[in-house]
Every structure is written in structure tokens, then in C-alpha cells.
Amino acid sequence: MIKKVLTVLGARPQFIKAANVSRKLSEYGINETIVHTGQHFDNNMSKIFFEEMDIPKPKYNLDIHSLSHGAMTGRMIEEIEKILKVELPDIVLVYGDTNSTLAGALAAQKLDIPVAHVEAGLRSFNLKMPEEVNRILTDRISSYLFCPTDNALKNLKNEGFENFPCSVIKSGDVMQDAALYYDKKANEKSKIIESLNLNHPKYLLCTIHRQENTDNKNRLSNIINALNELSKEYKIVLPIHPRTQNSFKKLLIQLDFEPINPVGYFDMIQLIKNCEFVITDSGGLQKEAFFFKKYCITTRDETEWVELVENGFNVIVGADKEKILSEAKLVAKKISNFNIDLYGNGKASENIVKSLLL
């Protein structure tokens, strides 16, 4: 019987996902200890962040960031191991595909503590992505694999997980739980539409942050040239990631529109809900566009969320300017039924906690 869970988190999106599971753990009387590795150092993760987002504050903050992959992961394993020896949890819960995810799983497994991986089975089939390596290794040493989609289940089956001593469970996606839970709060707290004067002009919501795009002048130039062209018809709302900002300066790339500062989760929800459609290289935003019934154009060469592509809600264009522009014309005229259950309809957190209690 599981009575105590230790959750390892390292990035702001992971806290938002985990908040929904934390609420369910509390409802079922399960004690939870949260460890924040500090992987994504974020000044916005202050007291007000945890209060406004209704997120439990971490008991431990390891403040490990700004290191190479190897140094970061090694330091995390060392520090998490110390905590596990003190806390003695029944299970360690990890999310997604960051270095924190892998470090938490490895530290637990070395101490013979079962690991539960939320967002298991996702694959881009691109081993050049550090996230892909983290996913594969974390899945292989987990006792509970909570898959958000049928495709994730299929990936694990193809990799032979039926022969491993683990439970593979289709839970649904905790990101949809978060989107549904925070939608009302976003309506109450966000003033982004008014502050940017977006009540009337048509606008596109865009994000660029993946290293494959920001560090490659040809790819980044093609994407920005497409956005510059689209800016003649739409207002472009581009919350600018620091890596992207540095790349614009370093690679001498000119924007014909004014980007905006990074925004919080509530503001992002409002920007998604009110835009015409989304252009992004973000994994999370691809799904959030679907949750709020918006089409998405993805500037990557592959996606983990293949069900969005298969059902016509998302299109993969790489960094091809002409493809971006042609798909933008098509997407602007598309009408689809978004009322399809691809991600569990907000029941993922409950499914996860109930499965842990079986």
C-alpha cells in the first residue's frame, strides 16, 4: 500500500502538470514530498507563483542549474539520493523528459525504490534530442508507466515492455487536466489581451525556442521570414525566449514585428484561446492549442504528438518558409470537430492516483 510519494520536478511546466496529481494525492490521503532540482532557474517561481497556481511548495530546492548535461544530471542524482535516504518514500514520481526526470528515476532505482513515470512512451525517434534519451532511459527503469495516448502505449509495446516487470497504463494527459483547471483562473487573472490591445486585430501566437531552430541560422531565418510575411496580414504575438533573443542578435536576423516579453501560464492560456492559430516548435503548446480548439503549425521535423497530425489538428512543416506560408493559408480556412477524446478529457490525474493505489 502506497502511503508516501516523493515527486521530483525541475521545470515550471512540470510543476503545473504535477499540481493536478498533487491535489488528487491529497484527496486520497497520500503524503507527498516535492523536490525541486532547480534545473530551469526561474525568477518567476516565487511565493506568488505557488499561491496563484495552487501548487504545493517544494520541501527541498537543490538549486542545480546552468551546468552541462552530464554534470547537471550527476549532481542531481547525488543530491536526490541523499533525500531519498532521509524521506524513505514508497514510490518516486517523475514527469516528462528533463534531466531532472532521469536523475530522479536513476536515484530511486539504485535504492530499489519503484519509479512512476508520467508521460511515458512518448517518442520523437530522434536520438539527437537530449529529451528523447531521457524518455527512453526513464521508461526502461520505471515500474509504473503512465501513457498519455494510444500512440505512447503502442511505442512501449513495440519496444517489448510487455516482457518487462512493469505496469503500462493509459492514463490520459495531465496537461489537459491543467488546462481545464486553470482556464477559469486565467479568465480572472490575466489582462494580457487588453494590455496588448488584441481585442480586435487578428493575431497569430508563435513561439520559437528549440535548439534545432535557434542555433541554426538557415532554419531560424526561414521561420522568421515566414512570420515577417504573415505579419502583413496578422499581428504576430511572439513571446521571446532568451535563447531566441540571443540568436537573433548573434545571427543578425531582422524581425518586421515587435516580439513581446515572456508570459506566464495564465497569460499564455488567454493568448491561445483568442488567437487565430498557433505556430510553434514547443511540444506542450501543440497540445494546448488542441485543448483550446486552435490549429497548430509545428516548425519541427517530427512530433511526439502524432495523433494531432493524424486527426488534422496539427501539421509539421519543419523550417520551410513556403510550407509555413501555404499551411497558414489552409489552416485559416479549416473547420474541424475538436470534440474528440485524445488525451483523457481531464481525468488523467485521478487515473494515475487510483492506479498507484491498486
3 state DSSP class of 27: helix
Grid cell digits, residue 36 = 525541486
CA distance 125 to 137: 13
Q: Please say if 209 is a catalytic residue.
A: yes
**Active-site annotation holder among 36, 40, 117, 209:** 209
240 within 8 A of 259, measured Cβ to Cβ: yes
The size of the chain, in residues, is 358
328 Cβ partners below 8 Å, 6+ apart? 204, 226, 230, 277, 279, 297
164 SS3 class: coil
Here the contacts of 189-196 (C-beta below 8 Å, separation 24 or greater) are 189/52, 189/266, 190/264, 190/266, 190/267, 190/269, 190/270, 192/263, 192/267, 192/270, 192/271, 193/270, 193/271, 193/274, 196/237, 196/260
101 close to 8: Cβ distance less than 8 angstroms: yes
Alpha-carbon gap, residue 297 to 234, rounded angstroms: 15
C-alpha dist (Å) from residue 129 to 30, 40, 105, 135, 354: 35, 17, 19, 10, 33
**How far is it, in rounded angstroms, from Cα 298 to Cα 136?**
23
30 touches 6 (CB < 8 A): no
Give catalytic residues, as residue numbers.
209
